[in-house]
Amino acid sequence: MAIPKTIQAEAGQLRQELNEHNYRYHVLDAPVITDQAYDKLFRRLQQLEQEYPELVSADSPTQRVGSEPASHFETVTHEVAMLSLDNAFDEEEMIAFDRRLRDKLDYQGQLAYCAEPKLDGLAVSLLYEGGELTRAATRGDGRSGENITANARTIASIPLRLLGEKVPDRIELRGEVYMEVEGFDALNQSQRQAGGKLFANPRNAAAGSLRLLDSRITASRPLTFCSYGIGLIEGVDLPPGQFQQMMYLREIGLPISRQIELLDSIDGCLDYYRRMLQQREQLAFDIDGVVFKLDDSELQRQAGFVSRAPRWAIAYKFPAQEVMTTLLDVDFQVGRTGALTPVARLEPVAVGGVMVSNATLHNMDEIERKDIRIGDVVIVRRAGDVIPEVVAPVVQQREGELPRPQMPERCPVCDSEVLQQPGQAAYRCMGGLVCAAQRKEAIKHFASRKAMDIEGLGDKLVEQMVEQGLIDSVADLYHLPQAQVAELPRMAEKSASNLLEALDQSKKTSLARFIYALGIREVGESTAESLAAYFGELEPLMDAGTETLQKVEDVGPVVADNIRHFFDQEKNRAIVEKLIAAGIHWPSIEVTQQAQTLEGKTYVISGTLEGLSRDQAASLLKARGARVSGSVSAKTSAVISGENPGSKVAKAEALGVEILDQAGFEALLGDDR
């Protein structure tokens, strides 16, 4: 039967594409498609060749493994070909594999299998002669590979000499060189610090490290090795089963998988697969599936091989963690602290068994470093419950000049200014009091004990009131309708009345507490106290330039910029004005630019002072250069004791530290207060 020209053309195109991808994966270590995409192309070519056997050619990717070895390494011919494995992608295919084997072997009972995780690294062959490692090679095209002996000798998990009394005269074994996730992360971190190339995943890092010409660099990389099979052996009779053979390799000093198991049936295989899938994210290394091998060596021999794979083994692949799709657009989400995060909007695609249409891009620096453009075909990765991320663009598939994502100048939520501080990757919305994305956190902070100290206004109640639409900003707190508050879950008339009373009491505060309550970025309690002590009132602070702000203790260029940008937002100022109009007030303090008469001194305040809160007293001391501490030590200059002092006075007496009463405190400040 003549083969349709369209089928011939499709098969030719598939062979060309697969050969190119094999070359990039096995020789260049720079794949441009994911495993899932490759498997799809490969299985289509297999289907065509099964339907039209005349299409099969010696150079078809279905008839060999990988591609030609790289020219800069000596070529090594494998004494026994390193074959690949057929794949299964669901339980039906696994059951069909078991059924085919039993039919082929005319075997009526349950078949036993040896199972182990499928490591995601680089397949290698190790040759030991007289117990000594004499050669290491990559798999290459399955028949010949690259001589990487010098590099393999640098890997600590590969023994240079075998151990024990059962060492064979010669043994060629197969295994995987890979990199654990922790080592991979550390390698990329050091590459980033050195301005070097970052690796996309542990598999690429392992392959690239193993195939370096300079073995000294390979020695510095966190590579490890795991044995999974034997090519040939001379001088020793092997045990009759795959599992016991792996135990023998461990006995003579070779590492094997800690997750290896002997299973008594295909049902055991399916259960093992489910367990490994659940454990996948807890393992120290990447795996992309599970390998099952018929345990009985004699039955393996009877089952035989097809052109590129043994009939008695199969790889049951996990759902893909990396897939390709199109980046449709980039949006920006505003977090609870005001940070803007770029989010990829994707052509929906299944990743790890879940449909994904959004993925993180981390920050603008990462977008620039990876050169991601809107309209690119991109590789998307999802591991377990981790948020999907865009790993990299497939530049080879980029058509024309595509637009680069741009950080918006205004917040997409509240239209406030968006700024990036020098030396920081994050861009932030400056509308802290008005931005809906930051609303809950802003209100929680405003009500907290060290800010306005609104008793009874906990985090859950804030969330309920925001979600019910009772408050849009902190200013709305002072206009809450008692009836609606009482209707909230776990609230009633009494609790609502108590909350409104607490809100009314919070109106009497200190300038330092109010400044801190506004939630200006990097303005903590100490800085707020310094600002209050320096400016004395809110208006001069709101209007101060960055140069003036930097004259205040604890205020540097970054904090000064944060303060200036916060008050430059008209919406923020409007909220502040509403708060003042609602009745928030504080005692006036005139302490601007006091002489630093107490510089170098440390004081502790205990008890209640007449006419001053503890915060106000501390501000007066700090304005004169003193340090105010919360604990007494031998280095304390004095303890200022008001009414009902605590244990700090007793400790001061025990240490011989001076104790000042209210009159002594006023004398300490001088007549200029």
The tens digit of pLDDT for each residue in 218-265 reads: 889 999 999 999 999 999 999 999 999 999 999 898 999 999 999 999
Q: CATH 2.40.50.140 in the chain, residues?
A: 322-397
User: Of these residues, 104, 118, 648, 651, which one is catalytic?
Assistant: 118
- Concatenated DSSP letters of 281-307: GGSSS-EEEEEEEESBHHHHHHH-B-S
All CATH 1.10.150.20 domain ranges of the chain, comma separated, are 436-581
Parts of the chain belonging to CATH 3.30.470.30: 77-317
Sorting pLDDT into bands at 50, 70 and 90, what band is 69? low
Q: How much is the average pLDDT of 21-35?
A: 75
What's the CA angle centered on 566, arms 561 and 569, to 5 degrees?
125
pLDDT at 308: 80
Is 118 catalytic? The answer is yes
Backbone angles phi, psi at 349, to 5 degrees: -150, 150
Average pLDDT of the chain, as a whole number: 89
Residue 672 has pLDDT above 60, yes or no: no
Q: Which residue has the higher pLDDT, 70 or 658?
A: 658
Higher pLDDT, 312 or 49: 312
CB 358 within 8 A of CB 325: no
Side chain identity at residue 9, one-letter code: A
322-397: CATH topology: OB fold (Dihydrolipoamide Acetyltransferase, E2P) (2.40.50)
462-475 in b/e form (b: 16+ CB < 10 A) is: bebbbeeebbebbb
Each residue's pLDDT tens digit, 624-641 = 878 888 889 989 999 999
Is pLDDT at 668 greater than 60 in this prediction?
yes
546 contacts 570 by C-beta, under 8 angstroms: no
Of the listed ranges 373-377, 380-384, 467-471, 649-653, the least confidently predicted one is 380-384
Identify the pLDDT of residue 592. 47
Closest CA to 603 of 533, 658, 564, 671: 658
Residue 125 has pLDDT above 70, yes or no: yes
Left if phi > 0, otherwise alpha if psi is -120 to 50, otherwise beta: which for 593? left
pLDDT in tens, 263-298: 999 999 999 999 999 999 889 999 999 999 999 999
Q: State the pLDDT confidence band at 589, using cuts at 50, 70 and 90.
A: low
What pLDDT was estimated at residue 174?
Answer: 96
* Other C-beta atoms lying within 10 Å of the C-beta of residue 17: 16
Q: Where in the chain is the domain with CATH 1.10.287.610?
A: 5-63
Q: Which CATH superfamily is domain 5-63 in?
A: Helix hairpin bin (1.10.287.610)
Q: What is the per-residue pLDDT for 80? A: 92
Q: Which CATH number fits domain 436-581: 1.10.10.60, 1.10.1660.10, 1.10.150.20, 3.30.1360.120?
A: 1.10.150.20
If you average pLDDT over residues 186-205, what whole number do you get? 86
* Residue 259 main-chain phi, psi, to 5 deg: -95, 10
What is the tens place of the pLDDT at every residue in 439-497?
999 999 999 999 999 999 999 999 999 988 899 999 999 999 999 999 998 889 999 99
CB 605, CB 614: distance < 8 Å: yes
Which two three-digit tokens encode residue 659? 């104790």
Superfamily of domain 77-317: DNA ligase/mRNA capping enzyme (3.30.470.30)
pLDDT score recorded for residue 67: 45
Residue 585: what pLDDT? 94
Please state, in angstroms and rounded to a whole number, the distance separating the CA atoms of residues 46 and 461: 62
Q: What is the mean pLDDT of residues 420-434?
A: 85
In sign, the C-alpha dihedral spanning 364, 370, 373, 376 is negative
Q: Give the pLDDT confidence score for residue 371 in this predicted structure.
A: 93
Predicted pLDDT at 66: 45
Reply yes or no on whether the pLDDT at 109 is more than 80. Answer: yes
Mean of the pLDDT values across residues 561-568? 92
**pLDDT attached to residue 32:** 85
pTM beyond 0.85, yes or no: no
pLDDT exceeds cutoff 80 at 28: no
Torsion angles phi and psi, residue 73, rounded to 5: -115, 150
| pLDDT, tens digit (0-9, with 9 covering 90-100), for 591-611 | 445 667 888 889 999 988 887
Q: Is 273 exposed, middle or buried (0-12, 13-18, 19+ CB in 10 A)?
A: buried
Give the span between the Cα atoms of 286 and 178, in whole angstroms: 9
CATH architecture of the domain formed by 602-669: 3-Layer(aba) Sandwich (3.40)
CA distance 385 to 383: 6
34-50 as b/e: b if 16+ CB within 10 A? bbbbbeebbeebeebbe
Give pLDDT, residue 325. 95
Location of each CATH 3.40.50.10190 domain in the chain: 602-669
